[in-house]
A and B are shown apart, each in its own frame.
Chain A
């Protein structure tokens, strides 16, 4: 079924009885050409691009829970391409271009909203760093504008400009940055993949990976064994456990990132604002809630909930930057499990097992990468060659010293 304005109107006139489920719910077959482990944003987009770009349709996505029930449903929905390092910047630039055509491509409203993203700076040194980053973004073919204090004040008059600790000197405006509706991204990819014949199998947990003589043969699951020539591990949050089934020890430590949302308010924040000095970023959802978060809890955890010190820290940072939000009531907070790599950048690569591929280590920046991650993982699984924009996302880069340390904070899991 194709969605269109006409379809909405027709259904409205006839009692909305014609809508059908957005995807099938098939039983697993005995064998597939390729299996994707993980039905989150990255896994679903991998399946979609395998079918669309490479004509591989005898494939299955295996999800232990329900589609989109992991990190793609628990994030702050920010989409941007403001990276600096070669290796990262072309990847996120590619991703942003895919975002811009995504709704037409999927025939699905993911509510992609390019409302503009502003990174604030608070010193001369930071201004120089952001000017340099903006130039790198422009060289990459993306957009960036350096705003002075008045320029920021015009867009964000409600900030506390006079604070003594972090006075606002200006901001780097990335107009094509913004947000998208996170669940809709998962649902849109799921529906589009299903329409191309991909089997989306829910409540199917992978319990083992079958390997013979260094070649992958399939997987063991809670719904029986499934054979496959190629297997992709796309399970951010559980990467270490699934990779261990194939005898791999990954450069990943799992940490918790908390995020918060307030009650619905009238439109008040038009942009995505990031306040790096306070480890705070905020935007307003289309439903009205202020969505904000801060830094990691900074210790290994799978609890899917955080601890109070970081809650307090995030609230303090928010109040420092925009005292007006002190009146808003926080409705919910949640914690997502993040694959922290030592340099803060992801991995899309082959493994030592033939036919087994890995897409992991998204740290806390995986949402904006969903389209390009799937695009490039599909390219890797179909052709056995890395796509040109992910050549730097190597699994062995720590051993060889080819780090992608975007923050320049060092090579240790708890620093990113």
Chain B
């Protein structure tokens, strides 16, 4: 599997650290109820098909990437910079 980093171009999977579903970009309000935090931290849709998850270009530009890909075929549809989307960690 190869990811095409918007800054660095197509790179080997080994350059990237996988973090998890892009739910992590939707951090609840600090005062949100416990259930919202549990959903954010632990529960996942976990689709067999198209998913969106976060990867860190560890051995490249050190950018967080939002990747749209298919978990059944390993096809990569879209790779975006989290920073460019206004998301942040």
Contacts and interface: CB of A to CB of B under 8 A. Distances in A.
Contacts of B41: 342, 398, 411
A399 B13 CA distance: 33
Contacts of A71: none
A250 B71 contact: no
A399 B18 CA distance: 24
B32 interface: no
Contact of A342 (B12, B18, B42): B42
Contact of B72 (A251, A253, A303): A303
Contact of A254 (B38, B55, B71, B74): B71
Interface residues of A, number: 25
A333 to B, nearest CB: 16
B21 A250 contact: no
A113 B42 CA distance: 38
A309 B13 contact: yes
Interface stretch (B46-54, B57-65, B81-89): B46-54
A241 interface: yes
Interface in B65-80: 71-74
B39 A249 contact: yes
Interface string A388-414: 000000000011000000000001111
B43 A251 contact: yes
Interface in A287-345: 298-303, 307, 309, 342
Given A342-B41, A399-B34, A414-B19, A300 B46 contact: yes
Contacts of B42: 251, 342, 398-399, 411
B71 A302 contact: yes
A303 B18 contact: no
Contact of A240 (B35, B39, B44, B53): B44
Nearest to B46: A240
A229 interface: no
A249 B38 contact: no
Contacts of A252: 44, 46
Interface string A215-251: 0000000000000000000000010110010000111
A282 to B, nearest CB: 23
Contacts of B38: 398-399
Given A299-B18, A309-B14, A413 B74 contact: no
A352 to B, nearest CB: 12
The 6 tightest CB contacts between A and B, nearest first, are A240-B46, A299-B18, A251-B42, A399-B38, A398-B42, A302-B48
Interface of A: 238, 240-241, 244, 249-254, 298-303, 307, 309, 342, 398-399, 411-414
26 contacts: A240-B46, A241-B48, A244-B45, A249-B43, A249-B44, A250-B43, A250-B46, A251-B42, A251-B43, A252-B44, A299-B55, A300-B20, A302-B48, A302-B71, A302-B72, A303-B71, A303-B74, A309-B12, A342-B41, A398-B42, A399-B38, A399-B42, A412-B20, A413-B44, A414-B18, A414-B19
